Amino acid sequence: MSNQTTTNETSLNRNERILRIRDVLYRTGLSRSVFYLHVKDGTFPAPVKIGKRSVGWVESLVQVWINEQIAQVRK
């Protein structure tokens, strides 16, 4: 294990959560199809694999995206 990996792992928030799709859709207010267009375009954080056939999104990254959308409206 490299020192960089160790540093990154220890700097993670221990209270960090992974959200499933229904939670992300609820928080963002997006429809599933529009949401996946944002993921495909790279304008929304990429999912993380949490199982063989399941993915989730890091809660803090979802919140950053929401905050960015709000900031754009307020400009």
Name the more confident of 12 and 71.
71
pLDDT of residue 10: 44
DSSP state of 46: P
pLDDT of residue 5: 46
pLDDT of residue 1: 46
CATH number at residue 25: 1.10.238
Domain extent for 20 = 15-74
DSSP element (H, E) containing 5: helix 3-11
Q: For 2-36, what is each residue's pLDDT tens digit?
A: 445 444 444 566 789 999 999 999 999 999 999 99
Q: How many domains does the chain have?
A: 1
34 found inside a domain: yes
Alpha carbon distance 33, 39 (integer Å): 10
Tokens of 33: 């199809």
41 found inside a domain: yes
